């Protein structure tokens, strides 16, 4: 199971920063709802071009349990598709065109807590077949494929033509679910990945660089998602803007390759039904849990959870990553039921390590925003629950465990719990950041003069 813990987080100060990404849901209601489209006015270079993008997956299957997810493609006239998975193989990178060109990489991209950088460089004018298409992932050329069919020499691809190009959607099924950042099309050049990223000299991790000065070509584009009112805006200077469907200001987030935020993890709980970039747990009438993708072992941390649908009081709290409840994706233990874990029940009960510590005078339910403040830095470690900005419960943590994750539990009733680790899927009226300027919260991460922080890799590097 994949999870980010402080020891393997990377972020550091300085260097180039990507400020925003775009969150594509495409799971809510089982339909394709978030995508971008553009139809070029005319064809340009169809033999030589480069497509580059950063992505962070959320769902590993689409709304109809389809393993195929199209990230970028054109199918209105011929076809050229950059997808995840296929009908036969899930979680792989698949790229193909209408002349027989097809790559099915043996590299699996199933880590929903990580950002991947993908580059496909095409130049069908090359005499050597293996030079006509090159695939790079995080700066490394891929050489192992289930299918390895190169395009014919000088064959035009169905890209950069006067037909409908889509981002995050195919024809009627197989939409992309997750986050995209720094999406680039270079019309007329087959570039190496070093035009888009570099290896960090300290950590060795592949990271983005500024691409704004590249030559993009006639149908080239650069989507940086910096304008919340126009997320299809092309920053290449060409004005090759994309039309938005289902995209609004709330789709713009600060979860990026240079500052990776916590979300819920579909790999931690097979019972969870997640949407909105893994920020929302949608339970029907079955027992479900959801747990975060980033664990914290020291420091002070803040997150919010808005209860939008519930037929009973949901449980909100933390589990240790050492517990079977966390390590077994089919386990449906609630926070506070196992050792070590701690949870608040919306009827006023606080649970710790398998015991009910007693009822208190609070309840929570539909419409309430529950703030959770976790202090792993003070000599007495604590977890505090706040309801709509007011303190309702505090519990001392009698534990020396390594790390905790946030999450919820629902027992056989409908629940929609919308978690805000800094990039909310629900409307925020106030707009509070933490003391480092990260996150977007309804209520302040600072209480009693003490700063708590959003769970993201920048903060982990400083406080985790």
Q: Cβ–Cβ contacts within 10 Å for residue 147, how many?
A: 16
- The residue written with tokens 């190169």 in the block is 150
pLDDT at 453: 98
For the chain, domains (ranges, CATH) are 18-253 (2.60.120.200), 274-463 (2.60.120.920)
C-beta separation of 94 from 83 below 8 A = yes
pLDDT at 180: 98
- The residue written with tokens 């030079």 in the block is 131
Written as six digits, the tokens of 208 are 């983005």
What is the spatial distance between Cα 36 and Cα 96, in angstroms, rounded to a whole number?
20
C-beta separation of 4 from 294 below 8 A = yes
Question: Among residues 179, 216, 231, 192, which one has the least CA distance to residue 69?
Answer: 179
Question: CA-CA distances (angstroms) from residue 420 to 139, 155, 278, 304?
Answer: 31, 48, 10, 5
Cis omega before residue 54 (within 30°)?
no
Q: Cβ–Cβ contacts within 10 Å for residue 119, how many?
A: 25
What is the spatial distance between Cα 115 and Cα 4, in angstroms, rounded to a whole number?
12
pLDDT at 3: 54
Question: CA-CA distances (angstroms) from residue 351 to 121, 209, 369, 384, 449?
Answer: 54, 47, 20, 13, 27
Question: Among residues 315, 313, 318, 270, which one has the least CA distance to residue 292?
Answer: 318
Could you read off the pLDDT tens digit of each residue along the chain, which spans 464 residues? 455 544 344 444 458 999 999 999 866 544 568 999 999 999 999 999 999 999 999 877 655 556 678 899 998 899 999 988 865 566 788 998 988 999 999 998 989 999 999 999 999 999 999 999 999 999 999 999 999 999 999 999 999 999 999 999 876 567 888 999 999 999 999 999 999 999 999 889 999 999 999 999 999 999 999 999 999 999 999 999 999 999 999 999 999 999 999 999 988 877 778 889 999 988 766 778 899 999 999 999 999 999 987 767 789 999 999 888 888 888 888 999 999 999 999 899 999 999 999 878 899 989 999 999 999 999 999 999 999 999 999 999 976 677 899 999 887 677 789 999 999 999 999 999 999 999 999 999 999 999 999 999 999 999 87
C-beta separation of 292 from 286 below 8 A = no
pLDDT at 8: 41
pLDDT at 310: 72
In whole angstroms, what separates CA 113 from the centre of its chain?
A: 7
What is the spatial distance between Cα 105 and Cα 93, in angstroms, rounded to a whole number?
5
Backbone angles phi, psi at 460, to 5 degrees: -60, -40
Question: Among residues 344, 340, 338, 373, which one has the least CA distance to residue 357?
Answer: 344
């Amino acid at each position: 199971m994949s999870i980010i813990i402080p020891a393997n987080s990377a972020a550091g100060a300085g260097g180039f920063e990507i400020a925003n990404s775009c969150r594509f849901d495409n799971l809510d209601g089982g339909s394709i709802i978030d995508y971008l489209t553009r139809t070029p006015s005319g064809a340009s270079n169809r033999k030589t071009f480069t497509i580059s993008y950063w992505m962070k997956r959320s769902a590993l299957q689409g709304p109809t349990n389809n393993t195929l997810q199209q990230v970028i493609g054109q199918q209105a006239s011929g076809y050229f598709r950059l997808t995840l998975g296929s009908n036969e193989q899930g979680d792989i990178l698949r790229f193909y065109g209408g002349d027989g060109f097809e790559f099915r990489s043996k590299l699996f991209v199933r880590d929903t807590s990580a950002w991947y950088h993908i580059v496909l460089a095409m130049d069908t004018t090359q005499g050597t077949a293996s030079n006509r298409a090159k695939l790079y992932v995080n700066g490394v050329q891929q050489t192992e494929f289930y299918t390895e069919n190169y395009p014919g020499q000088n064959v035009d691809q169905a890209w950069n033509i006067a037909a409908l190009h889509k981002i995050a959607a195919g024809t009627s099924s197989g939409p992309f679910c997750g986050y995209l950042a720094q999406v680039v099309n270079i019309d007329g050049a087959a570039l190496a990945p070093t035009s888009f990223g570099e290896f960090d000299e300290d950590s060795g991790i592949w990271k983005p660089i500024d691409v704004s000065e590249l030559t993009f070509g006639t149908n080239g584009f650069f989507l940086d998602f910096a304008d919340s009112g126009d997320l299809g805006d092309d920053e290449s200077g060409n004005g090759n803007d994309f039309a938005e469907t289902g995209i609004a200001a709330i789709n713009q987030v600060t979860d990026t390759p240079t500052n990776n935020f916590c979300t819920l993890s579909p790999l931690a709980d097979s019972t969870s039904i997640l949407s909105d970039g893994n920020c929302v747990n949608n339970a029907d009438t079955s027992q479900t849990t959801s747990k975060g993708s980033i664990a914290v072992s020291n420091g002070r941390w803040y997150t919010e959870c808005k209860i939008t649908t519930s037929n009973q009081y949901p449980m909100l709290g933390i589990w240790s990553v050492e517990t079977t409840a966390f390590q077994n994706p089919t386990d449906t233990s609630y926070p506070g039921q196992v050792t070590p874990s701690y949870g608040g029940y919306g009827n006023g009960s606080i649970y710790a390590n398998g015991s009910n510590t007693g009822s208190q005078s609070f309840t929570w339910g539909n419409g309430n925003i529950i703030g959770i403040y976790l202090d792993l830095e003070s000599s007495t470690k604590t977890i505090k629950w706040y309801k709509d900005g007011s303190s309702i419960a505090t519990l001392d943590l009698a534990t020396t465990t390594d790390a905790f994750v946030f999450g919820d539990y629902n027992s056989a009733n409908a629940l929609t719990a919308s978690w805000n680790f800094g990039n909310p899927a629900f409307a925020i009226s106030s707009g509070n950041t933490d003391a480092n300027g990260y996150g977007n919260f309804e209520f302040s991460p600072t209480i009693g003069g003490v700063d708590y922080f959003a769970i993201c890799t920048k903060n982990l590097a400083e406080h985790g």
